[in-house]
Structure 1
Amino acid sequence: MSAPPVPLDLRLAAVAVAAWATAFGATGAPGWRPVLVGAGVLVAAVGFLVAAGRGARGVLVLAGCLLVLLSVALQHGRSTAGGVQDLAHRTVSGTFTATVTSDPHALPALHEGDAPRVVLDVRLRRVSARGATTALAAPATVFAPADGWRAVRWGDRVAFGGRLGPAEPGDRSVVVVSARALDATHRPGGPLTVAERLRTGLRDAVADQPRDARGLLPGLVVGDTSELPDDLEAAMKQVGLTHLTAVSGSNTTLVVGFVVLVASWLGFGRRSRLLVAGVGLVGFVVLARPDPSVLRAAVMGGVGLAGLAAGRPVRGVPVVGAAVVVLLVADPWLAREYGFVLSVLATTALVLLARPWAERLTGAGLPRVVAYSLAVPAAAQAVCGPVVVLLQPSVNLVTIPANVLVAPAVAPATVIGLAATLLSPLWPGGAALLAWPAGWCAWWIAAVTRGCARLPTSLEVPAGAAGFVVVVLLTLLVVAAVAAVVRFRRSGRRWLAVAAVLLLVAVLLVRCAPRWGGPSGPWPPPDWLVVGCDVGQGDALVLRSGPASAVLVDAGPDDVLVDGCLDRLGVRRLDAVVLTHFHADHVGGLAGALRGRPVGRVLVSPLAVEPAARGVRRTVGAVEVTEAVAGQRGSAGTVRWTVLAPEPSVAQLAAPDSSQVNDSSLVLLADVAGVSVLLTGDLERDGQRAVLSHWPEGASVDVVKVAHHGSANQDRRFYARVRPRIALVEVGEVNDYGHPAAGTLDLLTRTGARVLRTDTGGDVAVAGTAAALRTVVRGSDPRQAARRAQNSDG
């Protein structure tokens, strides 16, 4: 007779959830005063409950929240001491001393011919500015030239000059620094130097292996993705295997498990094995760099290993809850990181679901190894899938099969690769020889990834909360269908019919979900070049200039809408901002575009319309502003352009009317990765004819941004001469002008152009290459309908 099931102990889970919500809110609060007020309220509540002699669980929850609030207050006070945020808001220049807290990541060059750049995290220790030197402990994000900075490593002490700028509210960094060349670097000795030598030894050991294995194996072992090919990284993201190259709980579980296995083989007792496991875990954290994500992975990986070893899922829940609270007290900003959400969910799935599901599959006749190979990725996907769709609104049907196929190679690649890493300082030749079997495993993982990425298995789902709900329902239906199939083997055919019905409902859900008004994915397409942002009645066009950077042409009327569009595209830096003219539907959202993003330079029309022009200069602060005129050429990142209009004389117009301002728009012919893009601002007939007067005979463009939101005031010969392949109309669904005009749409169609409209398609993208252009439509987001409708003038 089997023992009755033990109920889940959710007391610490409640504490963890409350602490998480508290950390999320407190880290986004403006300053430390709201945090201290909240802490005071919680202290009073705890005192009341203790005095009343009841509510032990409530006291526990409130105590967890209080600890988080106090941690936020202390860390925020320490980070902002010395008035560094005030200096940042004034974009002060100075010299800095800092400790590096991340590896540098490459960014594209700001302008053609410039040196490449990097971005990294540091903790500022000292700033000298305006004749004063101040001691600091401020976390900062640094954008710097790659020359010199590329070689810095975690823990290095650096000295440099640069300019401060404000960071995004809620970010771990309190300031952003645009840095100049390094003045000095000091590399501390001790464990970090040993760790760097080991990491270099692994890279040297795999130097002669094939490209994919050479780039992937260091990522599998220690999270070093510096040599990972870009196309392989994109394929891993598409298939759902990026967790393999990030230091995650699975890495630490494999390493600690291997250490425990070796200790057991050597005859160590239970307590000794635990001690050895702890030492191994600490050593791996140092080797992989003790940044917040690695520390998080170490804790959650240890919890996962303990949960599996416990034998019962019940024991794992309090441990996970306690680990979450400890991590949030140590680093409250984890509450705002998707990586932390996914790590906690995956660990919870491991301790709650993986073992029971594997036992069910074993009972249905599958071998134990196969059952666990299926249950572990299925459990992780079931709980993480709804969160992942918030980042990438699509579901790939091959995610679980791909994880199952690569699973047999992950453990040997990690363990053998780690052994080669440890051997490399002692015997480099032996390390290179030992790394070959690990490289074969990495090659298999890469081959599976590339093969699965080529399959048409990505399903569109709505973005945001709608997509979350759809994926939750889809997951429940699939799990129920699999359970019915397992029961069919024992209880008769009726369960097979139930499974068939559930799968049919799941298929219908997937087919119908994108039509429910939410934007559909995948978004953005990995090879996007040009994106028209859905900002209502206004213009905001994004030209891709690097992996995480872009040139923004106009900023729309609303700061939230343009900021959201850039966030969805992953744009962390604006290499240039082009403001075609000073009407509000083109410059009103500028503050949102600049929010938390460094800007290289700003191009504006020479016809300054006040007070909008003054507002623009005030918003951009110290950023260089250039009045562009016909004949000038420029570049930013990988984007190049020629200014076709206006002529310098437009600056002399006195009291210009709206049409004159429209015809003073900057007109650029841009090149984006070999794709020609004609940007026309709000040109009307006269302005279009002026551009046409010196348009090269027989020249055509790939993409044209249709002038003035597709108004009726167009010159037919203009579009007939430029002969665009794709015509992009930026227009609001709600506007007072009847844009886009039916005659203009008919004109564009008759030129042979494929027409994209933001009023019907939401964010729209041009992707691919000049030889194989394609268009992708995200769909309108109904949650922003009211905000888009607020701006109906243009």
Structure 2
Amino acid sequence: MRDLRTGLLAAVLWAVALLCIHVPALALPLAGAAGTGAAASALLGRLVRRRANGLIVLMLLCSSAVGLAVAGAQPARAMLAESDGRAVEAVVDVSSSASVGADGRLWFDAHTVALGPPGQLRPISATVRVGVARTDGIEMGARLRVTGQAKAAEPSEQAGLVIFGADAEVVQRASGIFAIAATTRADFVARATRLPEPGAGLLPGLAVGDTRAVSEELNDAMLASGLSHLTAVSGANCMIIVAAVFWLVSLAGGGRTLRVVLALLALGAFVVLVTPEPSVVRAAVMAALAMLSILLGRPSAGLAMLSLAVCGLLIADPWFAGSPGFALSAAATGALLVLSRPLLRGLGRWMPAPLALALSVPLAAQVVCGPIIALFSEQQSLVSVPANLIAEPAAPLATVIGLLACLTAAVPPVADLFAAAAWLPAAWIDVTARVTSALPGATVTVVAGPIAALVVGLLSAAAVIVLVRPASRRLRMASAAVIVIALAIAGGRMLLSGPLAPLSTPSEWSIAGCDIGQGDAVLIRSAGRTALIDTGPDPDALRECLAQTGTTRIDLLVLTHFDLDHVGGTPAVQGMVGTVLHGPVTEDDERRMLARLASAGATLRDVSAGMSGALGDARWRVLWPDADPVVFPSGNDASVVLEIAGGGVPRTLLLGDLGAGSQRLLLSSGRIRGTFDVVKVAHHGSRDQEPSLYAALRAPAALISVGEGNDYGHPRAETLALLDAAGSQALRTDQRGLVLLGLRDGELLVWSTRAPPAG
């Protein structure tokens, strides 16, 4: 029924569009007997109506075409939806490059050839998203047989089904031009990663868009510094290729036509080399349009060409409409066409022309893309423009020289020479990202959505007006006032979260529940020594908490278990940790995380119940898990449970994410002795709790580390009720922000950065 409605809607739109085409013609005879002035007015009216009707016709035609495309895709998507939640077997053709996801799988888009329950395949043609364990031969054009669990995708997603692969077999390797491109890429990646860090892992991303060698820390730094567009194939990469070929041909004396033809041929070859997946094709189209409109001396036609390309891409694949990447590509191209020249003139009043030219392009892209990013990203980079100004000159060198290393793979000494030459600009970008992302106030956390987009858009518009200097003095003054207010707020925030942060918190605290969102991060200090129990989900949020509390050294880091909301912020403390206590390790990514901490100078200790030690004048003891646990070998129920007391620290029990079953076993083990002053409530206040444990603890303060507006309903009402019954006051980070606890004359004191809710 949905397919029929969509098809009927498309047919109606086509009919209305065809009718509108004739509306201007119907008005033409009406000016016949009018006088000269009336005829002129009528002519003007006809022209206005003709343009308005033309826009209406275009919108209706595009809408109807999109409707037909969606209707045509619905039967296949409906067949895919039947597999939701089931085990499936699929034969798929890889249609994109693969990238490592947060779960360690290689994720890629693919076209299905057949799909069904294991052993019951039936033909179907549709797009799916597949994640598999790392397997050789996953290249564009390869055919795989995948077995795994299926989950229906959202209607707004291009892929109709997501397959979490448990097993993958390469049925047929990539052949022809795709095989040549895959071999060339693999040879270059191997050559690049033999070079030293920093820069080696980043070079394949800069040159051919292969980001599999980019570490998590570098990826976070690239995001925070606004340089992430350089780590994957984007319009910038494509424009570098076009500009380089255009310049080389012009040096050889080639005419404009030859330059354009060869530049476009080179762009096509580059697209094949980096895999012609939809995002790359989109970037290539945008780059080709932008470069052609400028290089042909017709920038005024660029917007019309851009509009045509956007309409064509949306008709060909309507699901681009829900892609942030598509919106950012189109916006950045439009910014290059419309804003770069006015900004160049404006910046030219303040700085030398070469510097203004280098800054105008990234600034134009930033002011236009910033509001779009604010719609879906909670992190806004405040160092993006200077970081791009520093890094951008190196990007063309790394891209072009890296491609030369690819193309000369048949002559290894020459390829090695080019790869080594490309490593230097890649290292420059790597260091730029790490340094700028570590600056105080490098990023600001916002609530993603229309309000954030409106604020960022207002600031962007004000910045453009100040630089371009329009004729209206009132508009210039208002924009300058907006910029001054924003800078004052940002400067105050940087001071309060940086050098002045310790002044805003009382000095008597010994326990700090960090406000890091949906996750755990608790600081404990005694006699100048500091422990951190878990690191939360986000390195930036943890850095802010460390700055607020004046923490520069972590003597003891306890990783209770390896869920992302407990260890995701670990990069923020890498290099400042003395000893790491951790529970059972079962996955490769967990071992890699611990290895990075060890390589930065930390000592690793795999702990179990009975181990103990000192933190300053305080003593700590591990109560859970048992050595070589059988019942709970890993995960929440194997969380490290720690008690600590003395040396100014209230007697505290930290429960990690321990569930009710393991809480009962802990209580019955006899390791819980006496009452406590503070309990860190397990699993962010989920309902998986054992009431008798909290009744036995009788802790006056129950710290709940939880994210505001989380999707889990944490803390649950029943958990809050059992805490109240045990005489414990719930101290929630989502309501109070940073929560600080300490002792004064034996009395437990509580501070927080936000006032507790009334009642």
Pick the TM interval, shorter chain: 0.5 to 0.7
Equivalences for residues 307-456 of structure 1 within 5 A: 307-311=293-297, 313-362=299-348, 364=349, 366-424=351-409, 426-456=410-440
Q: Aligned partner of 1:434: which letter?
A: F
Give the equivalent residue in structure 2 for 1:610.
none
3-state DSSP of counterpart to 2:682: strand
Deviation string for 1:694-733 (max 9, x for gaps)? 2525799866347688999887664468998766599989
CA shift, 1:301, in A, is: 0.9
Equivalences for residues 251-266 of structure 1 within 5 A: 251-266=237-252
Judging changes above 3 Å, is the alpha-carbon distance between structure 1 residues 60 and 777 closer, same or farther for their aligned structure 2 residues? farther
| Counterparts of 1:156 and 1:778, CA distance in 2 | 55
Correspondence for 2:459 among 451, 461, 474: 474
| Counterparts of 1:100 and 1:334, CA distance in 2 | 19
Judging changes above 3 Å, is the alpha-carbon distance between structure 1 residues 106 and 375 closer, same or farther for their aligned structure 2 residues? closer
3-state DSSP of counterpart to 1:123: strand
Judging changes above 3 Å, is the alpha-carbon distance between structure 1 residues 439 and 38 closer, same or farther for their aligned structure 2 residues? same
Deviation string for 1:82-101 (max 9, x for gaps)? x3432x1472544x322112
| Counterparts of 2:102 and 2:724, CA distance in 1 | 42
Could you state the TM-score of these two structures normalised by the residue count of structure 1?
0.64
* Conserved 8 A contact 1:249-1:297: yes
Percent pairwise identity:
28
Give the equivalent residue in structure 1 for 2:97.
103
Judging changes above 3 Å, is the alpha-carbon distance between structure 1 residues 709 and 246 closer, same or farther for their aligned structure 2 residues? same
Q: Which has the higher contact order (CA 8 A, sep 6+)?
A: 1
Equivalences for residues 137-152 of structure 1 within 5 A: 137-146=125-134, 149-152=135-138
Q: Aligned partner of 1:632: which letter?
A: V
CA shift, 1:221, in A, is: 1.0
CA shift, 1:120, in A, is: 2.6
Give the equivalent residue in structure 2 for 1:459.
444
| Counterparts of 2:479 and 2:357, CA distance in 1 | 22
Q: Aligned partner of 1:101: which letter?
A: S
| Counterparts of 1:697 and 1:223, CA distance in 2 | 54
| Counterparts of 1:150 and 1:203, CA distance in 2 | 14
| Counterparts of 1:283 and 1:439, CA distance in 2 | 23
CA shift, 1:224, in A, is: 0.6
CA shift, 1:257, in A, is: 1.2
* Conserved 8 A contact 1:256-1:281: yes
Could you state the TM-score of these two structures normalised by the residue count of structure 2?
0.67
Equivalences for residues 335-734 of structure 1 within 5 A: 335-362=321-348, 364=349, 366-424=351-409, 426-457=410-441, 458-483=443-468, 501-507=481-487, 545=563, 632-635=631-634, 639=635, 641-642=637-638, 677-679=655-657, 692-696=667-671, 704-705=682-683, 718-719=696-697
Q: Aligned partner of 1:444: which letter?
A: W
Judging changes above 3 Å, is the alpha-carbon distance between structure 1 residues 166 and 264 closer, same or farther for their aligned structure 2 residues? same
| Counterparts of 1:776 and 1:428, CA distance in 2 | 62
Correspondence for 1:296 among 277, 282, 285: 282
| Counterparts of 1:734 and 1:129, CA distance in 2 | 39
* Conserved 8 A contact 2:191-2:416: yes
* Conserved 8 A contact 1:670-1:679: no
Give the equivalent residue in structure 2 for 1:57.
55
Judging changes above 3 Å, is the alpha-carbon distance between structure 1 residues 690 and 230 closer, same or farther for their aligned structure 2 residues? closer
Give the equivalent residue in structure 1 for 2:162.
176
Give the equivalent residue in structure 2 for 1:583.
none
| Counterparts of 2:664 and 2:118, CA distance in 1 | 52
CA shift, 1:465, in A, is: 1.5
| Counterparts of 1:229 and 1:284, CA distance in 2 | 25
Judging changes above 3 Å, is the alpha-carbon distance between structure 1 residues 710 and 197 closer, same or farther for their aligned structure 2 residues? closer
3-state DSSP of counterpart to 2:195: coil
Task: Give the structure with higher Rg (CA).
Answer: 2
CA shift, 1:444, in A, is: 0.7
**Pairing 1:756–2:740 present:** no
| Counterparts of 2:491 and 2:244, CA distance in 1 | 45
CA shift, 1:325, in A, is: 0.9
| Counterparts of 2:322 and 2:374, CA distance in 1 | 16
| Counterparts of 1:169 and 1:513, CA distance in 2 | 40
* Conserved 8 A contact 1:212-1:229: no
3-state DSSP of counterpart to 1:473: helix
Judging changes above 3 Å, is the alpha-carbon distance between structure 1 residues 504 and 421 closer, same or farther for their aligned structure 2 residues? same
Q: Aligned partner of 2:81: which letter?
A: Q
**Pairing 1:121–2:109 present:** yes
| Counterparts of 1:690 and 1:200, CA distance in 2 | 52
Equivalences for residues 238-249 of structure 1 within 5 A: 238-249=224-235
3-state DSSP of counterpart to 1:151: coil
CA shift, 1:50, in A, is: 3.1
Give the equivalent residue in structure 2 for 1:187.
173
* Conserved 8 A contact 1:710-1:729: no
CA shift, 1:744, in A, is: 7.7
| Counterparts of 2:565 and 2:663, CA distance in 1 | 33
Deviation string for 1:560-599 (max 9, x for gaps)? xxxxxxxxxxxxxxx9xxxxxxxxxxxxxxxxxxxxxxxx
RMSD of aligned residue pairs (Cα, Å): 4.7
* Conserved 8 A contact 1:99-1:125: yes
Judging changes above 3 Å, is the alpha-carbon distance between structure 1 residues 778 and 160 closer, same or farther for their aligned structure 2 residues? farther
Deviation string for 1:265-306 (max 9, x for gaps)? 223222222221221111011001011110011001112212
CA shift, 1:392, in A, is: 2.5
CA shift, 1:62, in A, is: 1.1
| Counterparts of 2:145 and 2:717, CA distance in 1 | 56
Correspondence for 1:285 among 271, 276, 279: 271
Give the equivalent residue in structure 1 for 2:68.
70
Judging changes above 3 Å, is the alpha-carbon distance between structure 1 residues 695 and 256 closer, same or farther for their aligned structure 2 residues? farther
Q: Aligned partner of 2:406: which letter?
A: T
Q: Aligned partner of 1:123: which letter?
A: H
| Counterparts of 2:654 and 2:707, CA distance in 1 | 16
How many residue pairs are counted as aligned between the two chains? 589
Q: Aligned partner of 2:412: which letter?
A: P
Give the equivalent residue in structure 2 for 1:91.
86
Judging changes above 3 Å, is the alpha-carbon distance between structure 1 residues 352 and 523 closer, same or farther for their aligned structure 2 residues? farther
Gaps of at least 5 residues in structure 2 are: 26-52, 495-514, 522-533, 539-559, 569-588, 590-628, 643-652, 740-750
CA shift, 1:121, in A, is: 2.2
CA shift, 1:175, in A, is: 2.0
Deviation string for 1:67-117 (max 9, x for gaps)? 22222223444x448x3432x1472544x32211223333577xxxxxx64
Judging changes above 3 Å, is the alpha-carbon distance between structure 1 residues 526 and 742 closer, same or farther for their aligned structure 2 residues? closer
3-state DSSP of counterpart to 1:247: coil
| Counterparts of 2:689 and 2:88, CA distance in 1 | 46
3-state DSSP of counterpart to 1:102: coil
| Counterparts of 2:347 and 2:17, CA distance in 1 | 47
* Conserved 8 A contact 1:678-1:701: no
**Pairing 1:38–2:22 present:** no
| Counterparts of 1:233 and 1:51, CA distance in 2 | 55
3-state DSSP of counterpart to 1:122: strand
Q: Aligned partner of 2:632: which letter?
A: R
Judging changes above 3 Å, is the alpha-carbon distance between structure 1 residues 497 and 47 closer, same or farther for their aligned structure 2 residues? closer
Q: Aligned partner of 2:3: which letter?
A: W
CA shift, 1:123, in A, is: 1.2
CA shift, 1:333, in A, is: 1.1
